[in-house]
Structure 1
Amino acid sequence: MSSKSNVLTIGNDNRESSDKLQKTNNPKAYFEIDFDKHMQKILLDGEKPQNVDETSVGRFAATEIMRNGKQYYEFGPDNFKNGTIISGCAFSSKDMLLRVKNRIHKEHWVNENVIQYRKNSMVHIQQIVSDVMREEEIEIYQFLSYLNKTKS
């Protein structure tokens, strides 16, 4: 016994894939492409980067650790380990650590990158790390704005 089935196909196999972007009335739709082109113009005189260095921007993280009933937080490069409470892009983990150190009193530091802090303080630590990441973003933006003004 044989069975026949009909399959509905839309379009044809000879269609060409288009790399052109569809037109839209949403001005934010092209932001990423426009932003990349604008940054190339500012930073590289319109040239594309020869080799993209994916390690030039790393990640910084805070990790929560509970030992002997005490609350600890470790700061440093993001290694995607258990206990990470916040993580984000950073050009230099060492610089981010210095920014965090400037916001947390010396008596909390048990070594170079670990603090002992009160229990249930995760939200407070997340806020500190978030603030220093935002601070770095603002400085980068200000530098790019300066470059944009000086190139004009």
Structure 2
Amino acid sequence: MTSTSNVLNIGSDTEELYYKFPKTSNPKAYFEFEFENHMRKLLLNGEKPKELDKNSIERFEATEIMRNGKQYYEFFPGRCATGVIISGCSFLPKDMVFRVKKKINKEHWVNDNVIQYKKNSMCHIQGIVSDCLQEECNDIYQYLSYLRENSNKK
């Protein structure tokens, strides 16, 4: 009996892993290691990744500002200012403000990237920014999955 299914084969049987499995009792560490190797095979065709240019990674940040007894939060591409309450890697940090704007009502916005919000709301703002950063990661993952599926059809 022969199989008619198609199987995606990445790499070769003799290909050596770039990294050796670290010895640990934490099963999550093995998942992260295997996921990294799998993504390396998919995105870099099994090649060793180039040295990371730390200046090429862009960030999105939110800062907390108190003026005249009012609470303000400012959102911008990372510049490591003082008062940062959350910062994260972003593929398009300039567009991240639009994601944040969708989650915060219009009446709070003072200008394009500053909101006035109730006092003691830092955790709430951190949650919103964190959700937006995660949404971007999910969008990138979905796009990569789409590319992978469509490359298999050829």
TM-score, normalised to structure 2, is 0.70
Distance in 2 separating the partners of 1:107 and 1:23: 53
Query: Percentage identity across aligned positions?
Result: 63
Q: Residue 27 of structure 1: CA displacement?
A: 5.5
Distance in 2 separating the partners of 1:64 and 1:26: 36
Which range moves more in the overlay, 49-58 or 140-149?
49-58
Which range moves more in the overlay, 46-55 or 115-124?
46-55
- Structure of greater Rg: 1
Distance in 1 separating the partners of 2:127 and 2:28: 29
Given residue 68 of structure 1, which amino acid in structure 2 is its aligned partner? N
Unaligned runs of 5+ in 1: 1-18
Q: Measured at CA, do residues 50 and 78 of structure 1 come closer, stay the same or move farther in structure 2, by a change above 3 Å?
A: closer
Q: Measured at CA, do residues 20 and 41 of structure 1 come closer, stay the same or move farther in structure 2, by a change above 3 Å?
A: closer
Q: Residue 73 of structure 1: CA displacement?
A: 0.2
- Give the corresponding residue for 1:41: 41
Given residue 101 of structure 1, which amino acid in structure 2 is its aligned partner? K
- Give the corresponding residue for 2:84: 84
- State whether residues 43 and 147 of structure 1, in contact with CA within 8 Å, keep that contact through their aligned partners in structure 2: no
Higher relative contact order (CA 8 A, sep 6+): 1
Distance in 1 separating the partners of 2:145 and 2:41: 13
Residues 122-148 of structure 1 deviation map (CA, whole Å, 9 limit, x = unaligned): 122111111111111111221222233
- State whether residues 74 and 114 of structure 2, in contact with CA within 8 Å, keep that contact through their aligned partners in structure 1: yes
Q: Residue 111 of structure 1: CA displacement?
A: 1.7
- Give the corresponding residue for 2:104: 104
Distance in 2 separating the partners of 1:54 and 1:67: 34
- State whether residues 57 and 92 of structure 1, in contact with CA within 8 Å, keep that contact through their aligned partners in structure 2: no
RMSD, aligned CA: 2.6
- Give the corresponding residue for 1:63: 63
Residues 68-99 of structure 1 deviation map (CA, whole Å, 9 limit, x = unaligned): 11110000123333221111111111111110
Unaligned runs of 5+ in 2: 1-18
TM-score, normalised to structure 1, is 0.71
Q: Residue 32 of structure 1: CA displacement?
A: 4.5
Distance in 1 separating the partners of 2:105 and 2:26: 47
Could you say what secondary structure the match of 2:99 adopts? helix
Which range moves more in the overlay, 142-151 or 97-106?
142-151
